[in-house]
Amino acid sequence: MRIPISTKLITVTILILVAATGTITWISSNYFEKKAAEQVDIANLESAAAKAKEVDNIIASLVDKTRTSGSMLIKGANAAPGTVNEDFDFSFAHDKNFVALEILKLDGSAVETVARKVKEDVLKPFNLNGTYFINLRAWQKFPLRSVAEGSIEIKNASYPKAPAMITIGIPLVKDATGKITHIALADVVLSPIQKPFTDPSERTQYLIDRNGELLAHKDEQKAMARFNMSQYPFVEKAMETKSPQYQTKFVDPDSGENYFGASVKTSYGVAVISQTSEATILEVSNEVKRRSVFVAGSAISLAIFFIFLFSMTLTSPIEKLAEMINLVSKGNFEVKARAQVRSHDEVGDLAEAFDHMTEGLKERDKVKSLFSKFHGSSVAEDLISKDIGVGGQSKDVVVFFSDIRGFTAFSEKRSPEEVVEMLNEYFGVMVKIINSHGGVVDKFIGDAIMAVWGAPRSSNQDAQKALRACLEMRKALESLNEKRIARGQPAINIGMGLHAGTAISGTIGSDERMEYTVIGNTVNTASRIEASTKAFGADLLVTDTVIEKVGEDFKVELAGAAEVKGRSEAIKMYKVRAYRENGQYIEVRTPYSDYEAESADKVKVKAA
Q: What is the pLDDT of residues 83-133, one digit of tens each?
A: 556 777 777 888 889 999 999 998 888 888 888 889 989 999 999 988 888
Domains of the chain: 1-281 (3.30.450.20), 285-371 (no CATH), 386-605 (3.30.70.1230)
Residue pair 445/406 in contact (Cβ under 8 Å)? The answer is: no
pLDDT of residue 517: 84
pLDDT of residue 473: 95
pLDDT of residue 389: 46
pLDDT of residue 478: 94
**Alpha helix (H) residue ranges in 335-415:** 337-340, 346-375, 377-384, 407-412
pLDDT of residue 608: 54
Could you read off the pLDDT of 46-73 as tens digits, one per residue? 888 999 999 999 999 999 999 988 888 8
How many Cβ atoms from other residues are within 10 Å of residue 415's Cβ? 9
How many Cβ atoms from other residues are within 10 Å of residue 222's Cβ? 14
pTM of the model: 0.47
Backbone angles phi, psi at 505, to 5 degrees: -110, 130
Regions of the chain short of the pLDDT cut 70: 1-14, 17, 79-85, 284-285, 304-306, 308-314, 365-391, 511-512, 601-602, 607-608
Give the strand pairing for 245-251 and 258-265: antiparallel
pLDDT of residue 406: 86
Q: Report the distance separating Cα 597 and Cα 455, nearest Å.
A: 33
pLDDT of residue 18: 72
Closest CA to 563 of 593, 537, 601: 601
Q: Report the distance separating Cα 121 and Cα 546, nearest Å.
A: 82
Backbone angles phi, psi at 96, to 5 degrees: -70, -10
Q: Report the b/e string of 289-309 with b at 16+ CB within 10 A.
A: beebeeebeeebeebeeeeee
How many Cβ atoms from other residues are within 10 Å of residue 286's Cβ? 16
pLDDT of residue 308: 66
**SS3 call for 574:** strand
- The residues pairing with 440 across neighbouring beta strands, listed in sequence order, are 452
Residue pair 172/144 in contact (Cβ under 8 Å)? The answer is: no
pLDDT of residue 367: 59
Angle, helices 346-375 vs 377-384, to 10°: value is: 130
